[in-house]
Structure 1
Amino acid sequence: MNNTKNIFITATNTDIGKTYASELFLKYYANKGLKVGYYKPIETGVIDLPIDGNKMLNLVKELNPNFDVSINDVVPYQFELPAAPYVAKKDLKIDINLIIEKKKYLESLCDILIIEGAGGLLVPIEKDFFIIDLIKKLKTKAILICPSRLGSINDSLLSQEALKNRKIDFDWYINLYEDKESFEEVTLPFYKDYFKTINFLDDLKD
């Protein structure tokens, strides 16, 4: 039986820090002695090589030499247009079963597989199939990355509601990279009153 754990890194939107979070989680688990792996089923905006996928694959090969796979294994769907997968794929049909099979292969090479999504939870892959549906299909726990800027409370709570509605187990982390100076005054007071615990991505660092 495969006992590999899987974590799906998602976010409230694009450019929130999913790849940065993936890097931190990979290093965090590697430092705990686990063999790590990485998977990004779909990457858009690819010209020569998928930038995010290639960067993380090189890191994983340093952390876990047993993860001897190609970039096409790690990023099976690569599209040139920097847009939602549904738009970027044009007439191509994305095979969800292929994504699932690739996951099974990659998790056989590691103790924990970090899976990185594309954009936010409701980014479309097919007309009626979204990133949040992929998380459900892959049967993984989700890590929701939330921004720190003004307005992030609304974005964070909406995304958490969506995960709860789909009955997806998740943790959430704040990526403190925008409005750092005003975050403690503008946003943090609500989080402190509303949530029992607050996690920051940078807390994963040594």
Structure 2
Amino acid sequence: MSNRIFITGIGTGVGKTITAACVTQALGADYWKPVQTGLLEGTDTQTVRALLSNTTSVCHKEVYCLQEPASPHLAARLENVTIDPALILQQASIIQPPQRSLVIEGAGGLMVPLNEDVFTLDLIRQLQAKVIIVAQNYLGSINHSLLTARVLQASDIPVLGWIFNGDHHSNEEDVVRWSGYPKLGRIPHATVVDANFIALQAKQLMF
């Protein structure tokens, strides 16, 4: 569905959840993280719900909640669970009303395995979602960014563009130019991240 937006990252800890909150706020969309790992740290759904200030967004319940802060396939294996993408697809159809945008947050990057055979990339294709790539500057981030872009290009998955997190770096312009995907915005580092911060950043995103 063209009104599904999948938030993926070039790696772990690059700001996907904050970005997802900003995109959800900007679009007045609904939010959903179908697979949550690392429950001891709380859920991303709880975080996003607390950061939204519009009155329309709904944060939907996860399909899988797993304790271990690890990739979904490993966290599931440790709990003797197998993640079934068919259940995720079925739930997506149930929770998303026609014509309503749904922001879907993935776990980690494109090649994170959900089970022994299916990767996040495969789930994005099955959901027929458009992708926003979240990136952050660190040593090796250009490589991770362009590998992510190449995989999406090779897979014929539509990409809306990049959202960068953290301190500005000239690498952003290079990544945009080399990938051919536009920059939708950037979310600066902040010591306090609250609903006001999210609302301000949401207004500056370019869709």
- TM bucket (normalised to shorter chain) is 0.7 to 0.9
Q: Give how far 1:101 is off.
A: 1.4
Of 106, 112, 115 in structure 1, the residue corresponding to residue 104 of structure 2 is 115
Name the counterpart of 1:33: none
C-alpha separation between the residues in 2 aligned to 1:108 and 1:200?
28
Write the mapping of 1:97-116 to structure 2, written as runs, cut at 5 A: 97-108=86-97, 111-116=100-105
Contact 2:113–2:120 under 8 Å retained in 1: yes
Name the counterpart of 1:27: 25
Moved more, 196-205 or 134-143: 196-205
C-alpha separation between the residues in 2 aligned to 1:109 and 1:19?
25
Query: For structure 1, which runs of at least 5 residues remain unmatched after alignment?
Result: 31-35
Q: Give how far 1:150 is off.
A: 3.4
Name the counterpart of 2:67: 80
Contact 1:4–1:110 under 8 Å retained in 2: no
Deviation digits for residues 2-48 of structure 1 (CA, Å, limit 9, x no counterpart): x8711000011111111111111111112xxxxx211101010003x
Moved more, 122-131 or 103-112: 103-112
Q: Secondary structure at the residue paired with 1:38?
A: strand
Query: For structure 2, which runs of at least 5 residues remain unmatched after alignment?
Result: 188-200
Q: Does residue 12 in structure 1 map to residue 13 in structure 2?
A: no
For the aligned residue pairs, the C-alpha RMSD in angstroms reads: 2.6
Q: Give how far 1:93 is off.
A: 1.4
Note closer, same or farther for the CA distance 1:172–1:146 as it changes in structure 2 (3 Å cut): farther
Write the mapping of 1:181-192 to structure 2, written as runs, cut at 5 A: 183-184=169-170, 187-188=171-172, 190-191=174-175
Q: Give how far 1:64 is off.
A: 1.5
Note closer, same or farther for the CA distance 1:44–1:197 as it changes in structure 2 (3 Å cut): closer
Contact 2:4–2:129 under 8 Å retained in 1: yes
C-alpha separation between the residues in 1 aligned to 2:98 and 2:53?
11
Deviation digits for residues 158-182 of structure 1 (CA, Å, limit 9, x no counterpart): 001111111100133242315x4xx
Structure 1-normalised TM-score?
0.80
Q: Give how far 1:109 is off.
A: 7.7
Note closer, same or farther for the CA distance 1:172–1:4 as it changes in structure 2 (3 Å cut): closer
C-alpha separation between the residues in 2 aligned to 1:55 and 1:193?
33
Deviation digits for residues 42-71 of structure 1 (CA, Å, limit 9, x no counterpart): 010003x84211222455685327x4x7xx
Note closer, same or farther for the CA distance 1:193–1:114 as it changes in structure 2 (3 Å cut): closer
Q: Give how far 1:191 is off.
A: 3.9
Structure 2-normalised TM-score?
0.79
Deviation digits for residues 54-107 of structure 1 (CA, Å, limit 9, x no counterpart): 222455685327x4x7xxx52110000000001000121112111011111221
